[in-house]
Each structure stands twice: as structure tokens, then as C-alpha cells.
Amino acid sequence: MSVFMVTWSLNKEHGSYAYNQARAALIQHLDRYQNVTDHGLESVRWVSSSATAEQVCVDLRSRLDPNDRLFVTQVIAGAHQGWLDKAVWDWINARL
């Protein structure tokens, strides 16, 4: 299994109600994967999957509009740093 950092930006042109629905649908779809979030990063998740970054991206893009944005990258052991909650670090490091 690999750990991927997933970050996104949803188009807010359709109003806050549509944005909230789109965000909830994306989060629900993300919850199909083992994942964790840091309370300070609203549109970032770390997911664990045996898929590739491309496969995760294609899967998640199925829930996005063409003008939304998504970035998926694999987290490599020894090649990452940041300032996150300890529980998030523990979750990530346990899977690398």
C-alpha cells in the first residue's frame, strides 16, 4: 500500500449550497479509502491505497467538475516534511 497526499479546489461559482454539496460528495468518495486529515488543512487528505497516483486521480476526478482542480502525489518515506498534528504523522508513518 502507498500513501498519497490529495488536495483539491472546488469551483464556487454555483453558490455556497452547490459548493457544500460538491464538497460533501467528494469527501464521501474519499472515505472509500483509508484516509486522514489535519484540522488545519481543509482541502487536503492523505489516503492509503494499493492503486497508483494516476488511478487515485482518475477515480477522484469522476466526482469533480471540469473547472475544479485536483493534485495527487505519492508520499515517499524519508522524502517528506511538514507541520501536522502528531496523529496525522503517526497515521502516515505507520503506512510508509
CA pair distance 26, 63, nearest whole angstrom = 6
pTM of the model: 0.92
Select from 10, 15, 1 the least CA-distant residue to 29. 10
Confidence of residue 9 (pLDDT cuts 50, 70, 90): very high
Euclidean distance between CA atoms 40 and 50, whole angstroms: 27
Tens of pLDDT, residues 12-54: 766 677 888 899 999 999 999 999 999 999 999 999 999 999 9
> What domains can be seen in the chain, in order of their start residue?
2-95 (3.30.70.240)
Q: Which residues contact 29 (CB under 8 A, 6 or more apart)?
A: 59, 60, 62, 63
